[in-house]
Structure formats: structure tokens, C-alpha cells
A and B are shown apart, each in its own frame.
Chain A
Amino acid sequence: MNVHAMNTQSQSPDDGIRAGDLLMDVRNVSLRFGGVNAITDISFNVRKGEIRAIIGPNGAGKTSMLNVINGFYTPQEGTIMFRGKERRGMKPHHAVRQGIARTFQNVALFKGMSTLDNIMTGRSVFMKRNLLWQMLWHGPALTEEIEHREKVEEIIDFLEIQHIRSTLVGKLPYGLQKRVELGRALAMEPSLLLLDEPMAGMNLEEKEDMSRFILDVNRQRGTTIALIEHDMGVVMDLSDRVVVLDYGKKIADGVPDAVKSNPQVIDAYLGVEH
């Protein structure tokens, strides 16, 4: 059997939302840690099929925002609508089941496992057979494993990491580890993919590669992406819409060109004399 003949290209799951419609709506969200206001009254939305960037200077509350979306933090005020339903107080694994996957600012992979195994862990949410079946190995568990392996191989092919399929992740250079992490997130077939500083610590070539993969994920697999990024150049090139945070408040929201010329954004980034 030749794979060329099969059409196994997986898409993000059909969640009944048409491209361009609201996938996620964040309404008046505030998050406090004790007396510290990490996020104050922020509203923005993510449309299906777009690349949405969240930017801001250090400490602006970007990662907190991502953790709120992800369900890791529960905001004290405000609501989050995801796929048309309101949700509150959720554990990260519920977020995954709902179709949200993420990567981390500092790579969070299993360093002692191979690339293949790391990406396979992304499929674990879909594995239905219980421990007993898994221990028996043959039969349904094996069939299931093969199905998932196919999906994982597609991702490996997609991200062009065939040559490191069986290399331990801990031995890989940083740029490739980031790519493996993206692979693991893709394996969850998310309808919303959250990327926390996907280019942090990369050299120019690695950044260009990563940008290309992010665009491909978005265009070819139809995955909606929300990303946090420091590198303004990358953000402006990649994203369809940008929301800018500063000191936990939203100061701008719109297409890259509009945001770029917004005086408040320029002040936030370059600083102003007080």
C-alpha cells in the first residue's frame, strides 16, 4: 500500500464554525494575583482560521492571558466564550479535550524520549483503549496505535523532521526542539493552537523556518492560531490581527498596519518621557 494513494491529510476537527466566524470571545476578563492586577478588563476575540497575535512589552500580561485562555488560570471577572459556549473554571486537560493545544515559552518536552514518542504523547487524549488493552498490546490497542502513528507520521513529514524521528529530544538543538513541541501540539488536532513565544531564543534562520511552519499550519491544516511573540517583525508579517497589551490593559487591537502606527503602541514599546 502506498501512502501516496491515500488521503490521510488531517484537518483541524470540524467544530461547526465557519471560517471567519467567532471561535473564541474573551469578554471583560480581569485576573488578579493577590493585590497584583495581571490583567484588567480585557476583551478581544479570535476568529476561526486566523492568526491572532498578542503582543506587549515585558510583564504586559501576555502569558497570563494565554494561561487564562488555556484554562490554567481562572479569571476573577469576565467570561470566555469558546465555540459559542461559555466556560469557567477548567483544568488544562479539559482545555485539550475542547480543542485547545499550546506550546511553551521554555520548551516543555520529555527530554529522555524520542521525537516520535514525544509527538505520540500528543495523541494520548484520543487513545480510547484502557491500560489492560494497552498491556495486551495485540488486537484493538495495536490497531489504535497504528492509526495514531499514521497521524504522527503526517506531522513529522509536515514539519520536515524525519531525520530526527528517533533521536532523543534532549540531544536536539533548541530550534528543532521548538519544532517538535509544535508537532506535539498539532498531534492534538486543536481547533485553537496557542503558541507562547514560538521564536524566543532562535537565530534568524530558525525564525524564518518557524514562521514558514506556522503559516503552513494555518493555511494547509486550517488551524486557528493565537500567538504571543516578542519579535515585532515576525508578528507583523505573520498575523492577521494583533492585540496589544501594556500593564495588563488592552491598548490596541486591529490589523498589523493599524497597530504599528498607533501612538500608544509606539509609546509602550519605546517608552515616553513622563
Chain B
Amino acid sequence: MAATASAAGMTLDTFPKYLLLNAQRFGKRPAMRHKDYGIWQSWNWAEQLAEIRAFALGMQAAGLKKGDRVAIIGANRPRLYWSFAAVQSLGAVPVPVYGDAVAEEMAYVLDHAGVRFAIVQDQEQVDKIQSFSDRIPGLTDIIYDEPRGLADYDPIGLHSFADVKARGEAILAADHAAAARWELNIREASGSDISVMLYTSGTTGRSKGVMISAEGAVRAALDTATFDSLTEADSVLAYLPLAWVGDHYLNYAQGYVSGFCVNCPESPETVAQNMREIAPTFYFAPPRVFESMLTNVTIRMEDAGWIKRKMFDAFIAVARRHGEAILEGRPVSITGRIAYALGNFAVYGPLKNVLGLSGIRVAYTAGEAIGEDLFSFFRSLGINLKQLYGQTEAFLYVTCQVDGAVRSDTVGPAAPNVDIRIGDNGEVLFRSPGMFAGYFKQDEQTAATLTSDGYIRTGDAGFFEKDGQLRIIDRAKDVGKLRNGKLFAPKYIENALKFFPNVKEAVAFGDGREFGAAFINIDMTAVGNWAERNNIAYASYQELASLPQVYDLIAAHVDETNRRLAREPMMAGGQIKRFLVLHKELDADDGELTRTMKVRRSFVAERFAPLIEALYNGSSEQFIETEMTYEDGRKGVIRATVRIADAKTYAPQATEGGLAA
């Protein structure tokens, strides 16, 4: 692998430099695919270079200069990915923004970043930006990819991607030196320039603009690409939100340094189908995606004939026994191997094929804790699923698990060239090659995040296990104490609850209170299916959530969770005494979740304050009225009387291990 060393007379410390290199070394290899009109359209590295060059020159002609910020908004589409490199090639800074953000959130980011241009996917984003453009005078031009519906719009300050590119092509045709000048500009760019500005999802307050330097980004991407031996022969399906550090890192950054092919799905609804067609070799998905895959498989198996069901159960049992050992190259009996090979032929192979996982060489999950059962289910099928722990401020990787040393409750040792230490308050601190150059226009926040010796405070509490793997318990500031002084780690409890397929989301309360209590969101797919099977009629989420049978179902899960917590001495105090099933699904549009689908606990606590009070004052039901926001920004009110149930708690059992923080 070409390291940061020089090639073709330049230090490879920016992504556009890799673009030039890749067009040379992998010219004929596919760089980008996009399913369009039912066919996988493909561009090789040489073609990708031509696309980017023409668009970049068009943007230059439109007035884009070094140091300008350019918002990139929309789904995973080739032209938006090209925009990153095109913008970077001119020394400007791309700022990807979540396409599904409501207008106000988007306005804040565009305003804060001070963008001059916005490159967007379609009419939806154009409309959204135009609704607040008077508040952002610096934003002069919008460039859109899909022209549909935009024909009648005022053309001033509105250009199609194709037109900008055509302008660039005209320049290239008229001026033979233009291409050379553009390339020279790339070669002379400095690695200390800012490569990208990524806005955090805002789990805690307003989102912040994380500035990543080009050199750091390239070095981090090279490290992890080497770690997982990614090459130009790999391929990925680009389906994660474009504005999330994970997508930018895993698909864009790693794609450029190792030269692999990025495949863009036809539409968000076709991701599963497209995944099957492409069979990517490198894959990342948050735990909830794996969860829904397993839920779907389980549901479909329940509908299958009994022969298939028996065969599935029998071979899955074989996989559970031997699968992980075989994956990790540990010794397995010859009969075990034969049974597994048969299972692979009859069940695992076809199953992986249906899920689009048959090509996987390396898969990661992160973002939330993953259930042990769920994790080992996929690993036992022969999928090399590992965990990583990362942050936007680190340009993703802080830790990642090494092949062969993988567990569900840890996130692995430090990633290559990353230093980690645990602060006095139990907070995880790190220093890494890709670490941020600071928050944009927020020096105070930057200073508060860094320690005096240059480590970044993650805000997460964790500790190292004996084998050197990091284990994350919770957000450092969320780890609280019950009134009796026992430790209360809400996220730990929430995760334990969420391991049940019927529980989609849980919010635990207990800091400064007498006991632990929880809100629960049921999973509509799983519980709905269960209700159908048991002939339980329901009309809506709200009705389903309030059914006594559903309460019984959830009560069993809470009981199981309490038993489990009782086995861990440090966590036993936090057992759930009372719970309720929420009458509405927590939603990012209502601010209850972040855009990356993490619960904003304090916001939820404030919003549903009467319910929390009812959890602790012993009442058996509580009326609540909640305002909710529809996708188009209109508001509605939802009213409900929510039942509150009691749960049994268990005496702590002293068993092996547990937490030794």
C-alpha cells in the first residue's frame, strides 16, 4: 500500500491528490457505481477524475475560491460524492449536512458554517434552503443534482449540476492549460488545510462544526485501511447518511486511499435489494440494522413450512456451537466442521445471500451497544463482524477490534497510532492521527474538549478490561447515583432492555431518585407481528402500546433485565422498579432523538415530566398531552392516558467479574 510517502512527485496528504494517483494506478477499475433506471451505472477512476475536474472548473468559474465553505446536502449519490473532491480540489471546504434535518436545524448549520454555495440533491432541499435563505445572506448559489420539479423556479442563483459541469467542460475545451493548472493546484495544496467540516449530531445541545485537517484525515484512513487490509478490490454500499462522519470516513476517505468502489443504491427503499446485488466486502451498520435483519429473518422463518423451520433451527444451533470458533480459527472437532459445512450449504450461505452479506470480509458495528445474542448470531454465520468505538472529533476510529479477539461487550483496543487513557473521573481520553483541528468558530468549546496535554475528552465513561479492550459504560455525565448512593448508569440499563427485539427504545431514569424506572418504546414490527399471531387487534401504535397483553410482554422483558442486572454487583442497584410503555414513538423530528437516533434523555425527561412524576409518586396511570411535529413542520397534539406498571427486583448476586472500575 502506498503510504503517505511521495508518489509522482507529491506528498499524498489530501484526497484530491489520491484522486490523481488513483486515476493513474487504478484508471480502469470501478470507482463509483449507482443504480439508475434499473441498471448499475459505473464510472472508473479515470472517468471519475474527468467528472470531478469538469465540475470543479465549473464551480471555479461560478466563483468558488480557496477557503470558501460549501454545503453538501442529500442522499448517497455519485454527484454529491464527487462534489467533495471537486470542492477540496479548489482548496474550499465541504460541509455535509443531514438532508432530513428540519429547516431550522439546517439553517443553523449553514449559517454557522458561513457557506457560500450549497450542492443539493433535489427540489426538497432547494425548497428548504429557499425557505430560510434570507437569513443567510452569504449563501449565493444553489446547485442541484436532480432537475425534477425545478423547471419553473427563478433561475437566479440556482444551477443544475449538469450545467456547472458543462461550463467546466467548455473551459477545458477552450483552454488546454486549464486541466494542468487545476492539477498543479491540487499538487501544491497543503495537508494542513481543512479537508472537511462535519457537524456533530447534537446529542448534547447545538451541533458543532468539527474541522478535520487533510493530512490527519488521510493518515487516519490509511491506518485503518491497512488494519483491515482494504484494497482496490473491495467494495462498499454507500447508504449511511452523507453528513455523518462514518459515511465520510468509511466510504469517501477509505475509498480514496485504498481505491475501492463505492456503490450508491437506487433509492433509500432499495438498499436491501441493492446490497444483495452488490454483496459488499466491507460493511458498516449500526446495531439497529443488524437487529432489524434478525427480526425479519425470525419473522420469515416463523412463516416458513415446518421442514424449513426445523432445518433452520438445527443448523443455527450448530452455528451457535461452532461458528465463531471456526471464524476465529480455533480448533473444532471434525464432526463439528462437517455439520457446519452442511449448514453453510443449506442455511448460512443462502441466508447470507438474501441479506446481501455473502461477500463480507470485514463488517463493523458501532454507535450503540449490541446484544450478545445478536452479535454472535451474525458472527456464527461466518461474518467477520467487529465493534469499533469512534467519534466525529477523532474522524471516526478510536478503538477497533482485532480479528480473532472479538466480544460483544467491549469495543477493542486502541486503533493504530491512537493513544487512549482513562481520566480520573473515568472518562475516556484519546489522541489520534485524525483528531480534529478544533470546532469551527468555537474556540472555547475546543479548549474545553482538549486536556492540557492535547487529549480529547470523549465524554464517555469506560475502563480497560484485563485483555486490553476498552469497555464503554455510559456518557460520563449521565452516570449518576440513586438516592441510596448506588451507581446508576442509565444507558447500560437501556441497552440491556433494547436487546429484546420487542423493545425499540428505552429511557431509564434514576439519578437522584429512590429507584430506577424506565420509559419503553415497543418495536412496531416485532410487537405488531406478535399481536397478529395472537389475534390481538389494534389500530395504531398508540393503541398497541396501551394493550394489557403488551404490558405483560414488556413486563417479562423488564423482569429478565432485572435478573441480569442483579448478577452484576455494580449495576444491581439500578434495577427497574416501575416502567411504562410510551404512547408515541420517540422521533428525531420532535427532538426526542438525535439525527443519529440517540435518545436525548434530558429533553425526553422535560417533555414527559408528568409521566416521570407518576413513575415516582405511585400512581397507576397518568394523562399526558404532547405536541408533535409532522415531517412538513406542521404541529399536532397527541393525548393519552398511560398506564404505569410495577416490576419485581432481585437481590444482588455476587458472581464472577462484573465491573471493577
Contacts and interface: CB of A to CB of B under 8 A. Distances in A.
Contact of B36 (A157, A160, A220): A157
A101 B52 CA distance: 43
A220 B148 contact: yes
B9 interface: no
Nearest to B269: A163
B37 interface: yes
B273 interface: yes
Given A162-B269, A162-B270, A4 B148 contact: no
A160 B43 contact: no
Interface in B270-285: 270, 273
Nearest to B632: A208
8 contacts: A3-B36, A4-B162, A156-B37, A162-B38, A163-B266, A165-B38, A216-B148, A220-B148
A5 to B, nearest CB: 9
A175 to B, nearest CB: 14
A163 B149 contact: no
Contact of B41 (A3, A158, A162): A3
A154 B270 contact: no
B267 A163 contact: yes
Nearest 8 pairs of A and B residues by beta carbon: A163-B269, A153-B37, A163-B270, A162-B266, A153-B38, A2-B41, A3-B37, A162-B267
A150 interface: yes
Given A2-B41, A216-B148, A219-B152, 14 more contacts: A1-B41, A2-B43, A3-B36, A3-B37, A3-B39, A149-B38, A153-B38, A157-B37, A160-B267, A162-B270, A163-B266, A163-B267, A220-B148, A220-B151
A130 to B, nearest CB: 27
A163 to B, nearest CB: 4
Interface string B513-530: 000000000000000000
Contact of B151 (A1, A160, A219): A219
Nearest to B78: A4
Given A162-B269, A163-B273, A216-B149, A156 B41 contact: no
Contacts of B162: 4
Nearest to B42: A2
- Interface of A, helix, strand, loop or mixed by DSSP: helix
Given A160-B267, A216-B149, A154 B37 contact: yes
Interface residues of B, number: 17
A4 B267 CA distance: 16
Contacts of B273: 163
Interface string A196-217: 0000000000000000000010
Contacts of A3: 36-37, 39, 41
A157 B41 CA distance: 14
Given A162-B270, A163-B270, A156 B38 contact: yes
Interface string A161-188: 0110100000000000000000000000
Contacts of A158: 148
A162 B41 CA distance: 15
Given A219-B151, A219-B152, A220-B148, A150 B37 contact: yes
Interface in A1-49: 1-4
A97 to B, nearest CB: 27
A160 B122 CA distance: 13
Contacts of A150: 37
Contacts of A216: 148-149
Contacts of B267: 160, 162-163
B41 A4 contact: yes
Interface of B: 35-39, 41, 43, 148-149, 151-152, 162, 266-267, 269-270, 273
A86 to B, nearest CB: 35
Contacts of B35: 162
Contacts of A1: 41
Contacts of B266: 162-163
A243 B275 CA distance: 49
Nearest to A216: B149
B292 to A, nearest CB: 16
Residue of A1, A157, A219 ringed by the most chain B CB atoms within 10 A? A157
A256 to B, nearest CB: 20
A79 to B, nearest CB: 36
Residue of A162, A216, A219 ringed by the most chain B CB atoms within 10 A? A162
B32 to A, nearest CB: 10
Nearest to B41: A2
A50 to B, nearest CB: 16
A118 B518 CA distance: 50
A219 B152 CA distance: 9
A219 B149 CA distance: 8
Contacts of A160: 267
Contacts of B37: 3, 150, 153-154, 156-157
Interface string A140-154: 000000000110011
A244 B152 CA distance: 30
B269 A4 contact: no
A154 B148 CA distance: 12
Nearest to B270: A163
A120 B75 CA distance: 29
A216 B123 CA distance: 12
Nearest to B268: A163
B156 to A, nearest CB: 21
Contacts of A163: 266-267, 269-270, 273
Contacts of B39: 3, 153
A208 B161 CA distance: 28
B216 to A, nearest CB: 34
Interface string A217-243: 001100000000000000000000000
Residue of A4, A149, A165, A220 ringed by the most chain B CB atoms within 10 A? A4
A62 B37 CA distance: 37
Contacts of A153: 37-39
A165 B39 CA distance: 12
A154 B37 CA distance: 6
A163 B43 CA distance: 23
Contacts of A165: 38
A149 B37 CA distance: 9
B343 to A, nearest CB: 29
A216 B38 CA distance: 21
A65 to B, nearest CB: 31
A165 B53 CA distance: 35
B265 to A, nearest CB: 9
Nearest to B267: A162
A170 B623 CA distance: 42
Nearest to B47: A2
Residue of B38, B148, B149, B162 ringed by the most chain A CB atoms within 10 A? B38
A163 B35 CA distance: 12
Contacts of B152: 219
A160 B266 CA distance: 10
Contact of A4 (B36, B38, B151): B36
A73 to B, nearest CB: 37
Contacts of B148: 158, 216, 220
Contacts of B38: 149, 153, 156, 162, 165
A157 B34 CA distance: 13
B268 to A, nearest CB: 9
Interface in A109-158: 149-150, 153-154, 156-158
A6 to B, nearest CB: 9
Nearest to A156: B38
A4 B43 CA distance: 12
